[in-house]
Amino acid sequence: MIKKIIKTTTRSQQAKDDREYWSSRTPEQRLDAVEQLRIEGGNFLYEYPARLQRTISVTRKTSS
């Protein structure tokens, strides 16, 4: 049987709870969560590639 629980909170308490939760995660877990959100958001909004693309611009300085 599933027990349903409703919890009421304030925005400041929720923010504090979120900070505590993410502080308890390792840096790798935090980066994995960010990557997962980036992929989900990209799939929802746009057709993003699986990884970020690297770009480089080469300019030449002209003498005046």
Contacts of 22 (CB under 8 A, 6+ apart): 30
3-58 residue pLDDT tens: 999 989 999 999 999 999 999 999 999 999 999 988 887 766 666 555 666 777 88
Higher per-residue pLDDT: 62 or 19: 19
Q: What are 1's two structure tokens? A: 């049987």
Asked if residue 36 lies in contact with residue 48, where contact means CB atoms within 8 angstroms, the answer is: no
Domain boundary assignment for the chain: 11-45
Find the helix or strand (DSSP H, E) in which 41 lies: helix 27-45
Q: Residue 59 — very low, low, confident or very high, per pLDDT cuts 50/70/90?
A: confident
Reported pTM: 0.52
